[in-house]
DNA sequence: CAAAGTATTTGACCTATGTCACATAATCCT
DNA sequence: AGGATTATGTGACATAGGTCAAATACTTTG
């Protein structure tokens, strides 16, 4: 099944970039992940449901959003290829998700359920470390995003997004990018006119 | 040593509010923590040093700050009584801290070193869960703060801080509160005039 | 393919917040 | 205590970004 190989190679490469994982450990890990495809517009994790899995993104684009007190939909994250996605708070605490995660284009994932992840922790100890570092990176990412919100201008945040996740700028609706940057779509539209 | 009792009772109460901890487990845990006092203005964790401990705050007030690209000092967190403080990223990864943690008034802590915490994980398994939940709460706190930055006005963020950590408003310098809220001290000064 | 629906852009105007300059108050330091 | 230093408040003005309404452009779908 050569067609099935590639997504796993990609996961292996990602994990290795975090911390070296022995070939045999990776081989044993593979069976815990399930290839999945989401269609454009399909909702992976819905609002108010408990998130029971986490995914590695092979290709595609996910949007994580929520509704604020004023009822506006706010994007909190874009998840792109070669990263982990989940409604982390819900996944960790097994309480209902305040977030919706939706595919903005056809997206291929390798998903793993919470029980299976815990099994990995027990059977293949390097996974404790892998997952801990993955969570630390999530924290770090959130921190950088937060501080950007406080200390940078909208156009600087836009530029940073363009540098770090250019595919988001190309593929996501202006409306969603704007709420991610903490501005209105009109303001984003004006920023774009000046920054080609 | 009745005088020494109280800080530990306080820690016990805090831990119990997270997840029940057996009396005997707590009793064994006590020896891992060391009471410490910081004078007003004293730096606990300095910029560029590796943070090797985490602390429970019995009373007092800490400020966590960093310098942005434009050289401005930005407050990223105020740590008040009955919570855990650390330069978390540095503590977890053992890389140099980008943050400075400083006492804004005389502060009493119970500190625990990283090695000791790991020993707790091994010897008193409930600590795995306790620490995991503590970290999840940190993530959650950061997330709420972030989204507040994006979707609320300065005066709403000020009001929230006043509700949640009133002692910060009373005790911290205006300059530090302002950078925490992501505004200038002049703007904060004007907000205060209208919100007594 | 066209009509309907949806997303994006644009203009005019408004408001929150920033900037700079100076006044006033609090704190520090022999 | 009293001058020096540092923190805070205030006014006048500047600017980033928001709001509302209308105009285009782009997608859907019958």
The answer to whether position A150 is within a domain reads no
Q: Which residues contact A3 (CB under 8 A, 6 or more apart)?
A: none
Q: What is the CATH number of the domain that holds B73?
A: 2.60.120.10
Q: What are phi and psi of A6, to 5 degrees?
A: -50, -50
Cβ distance of A143 and B142 shorter than 8 Å: yes
Cβ distance of B151 and A70 shorter than 8 Å: yes
Which residues make beta-bridge pairs with B38?
Answer: B107
> Which residue segment(s) compose the domain that B37 sits in?
2-115
Name all protein residues with C-beta less than 7 A from any atom of nucleic acid chain C: A 173-175, 185-186, 188-190, 192-193; B 153-155, 182-184, 186-187, 190-191
- Which whole number is the average pLDDT over A81-92? 96
The answer to whether position B107 is within a domain reads yes
Task: Check residue A196 and give its pLDDT.
Answer: 62
Query: Alpha-carbon dihedral of residues A27, A33, A34, A36, nearest 10 degrees?
Result: -110
- Asked if A129 and A19 touch (Cβ cutoff 8 Å), the reply is yes
Question: CA B168 → CA A30, B60, B62, B79, B104, distances in Å?
Answer: 50, 10, 9, 9, 10
Q: Would you say the C-beta of B103 is within 7 Å of strand D?
A: no
Task: Check residue B69 and give its pLDDT.
Answer: 86
The answer to whether position B196 is within a domain reads no
Cβ distance of A142 and B145 shorter than 8 Å: no
Among residues A77, A119, A116, A104, the alpha carbon closest in space to that of A173 is found at A104
The answer to whether position A59 is within a domain reads yes
Strand D nucleotides within 7 Å of a protein CB:
7-12, 16-21
Span A135-162, pLDDT tens digits = 999 999 999 999 999 999 999 999 999 9
The answer to whether position A176 is within a domain reads no
Query: Does the pLDDT value for residue A2 go beyond 90?
Result: no
Strand, coil or helix: B124: coil
Task: Check residue B3 and give its pLDDT.
Answer: 53
Number of domains in chain A: 1
Kindly indicate the confidence band of residue A41, based on its pLDDT and cuts at 50, 70 and 90. Answer: very high
Residue with tokens 């994790």, as numbered in its chain: A45
HSE-up of residue B105 (Cα within 13 Å, Cβ side): 15
Span B127-183, pLDDT tens digits = 999 999 999 999 999 999 999 999 999 999 999 999 999 999 999 999 999 999 999
Percentage above 90 pLDDT, chain A: 94
First to last CA, chain A: 43
DSSP A73: E
From the CA of A40, how many Å to the C1' of C6? Answer: 16
The answer to whether position B54 is within a domain reads yes
- Asked if A182 and B150 touch (Cβ cutoff 8 Å), the reply is yes
CA distance A127 to A118: 9
CA distance B80 to B172: 11
Q: Report helix angle B126-151 to B114-123, nearest 10.
A: 130
Burial class of residue B133 (count of CB atoms within 10 Å of its CB; 0-12, 13-18, 19+): middle
pLDDT below 50 — which residues of chain B?
Answer: none
Which residues make beta-bridge pairs with A38?
Answer: A107
Question: CA A18 from chain center: how many Å?
Answer: 16
Query: Which residue does chain A place closest to B91, by CA atoms?
Result: A136
> Given CB atoms, is A138 within the 8 Å cutoff of chain B?
yes
Question: CA A96 → CA A62, A90, A91, A101, distances in Å?
Answer: 19, 6, 9, 13
The answer to whether position B25 is within a domain reads yes
The answer to whether position A23 is within a domain reads yes
């Amino acid at each position: 099944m050569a067609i099935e190989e590639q997504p796993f190679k990609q996961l292996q490469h990602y994990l290795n970039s975090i911390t070296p994982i022995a070939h045999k450990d990776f081989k044993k890990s593979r069976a815990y992940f399930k290839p999945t495809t989401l269609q454009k517009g399909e909702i992976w994790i819905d609002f108010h449901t408990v998130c029971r899995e986490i995914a590695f993104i092979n290709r595609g684009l996910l949007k994580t959003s929520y509704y604020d007190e004023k009822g506006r939909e706010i994007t909190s994250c874009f998840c792109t290829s070669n990263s982990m996605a989940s409604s982390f708070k819900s996944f960790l605490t097994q309480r209902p998700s305040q977030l919706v995660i939706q595919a903005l284009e056809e997206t291929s994932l390798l998903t793993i359920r919470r029980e299976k992840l815990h099994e990995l922790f027990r059977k293949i100890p390097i996974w404790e470390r892998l997952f801990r570092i993955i969570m630390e990176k999530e924290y770090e990412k959130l921190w950088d995003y937060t501080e950007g919100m406080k200390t940078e201008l909208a156009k600087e945040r836009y530029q940073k997004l363009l540098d770090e996740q250019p595919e988001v700028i190309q593929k996501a609706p202006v409306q969603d990018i704007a709420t991610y940057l903490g501005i209105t779509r009109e303001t984003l539209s004006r920023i774009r006119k000046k920054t080609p």
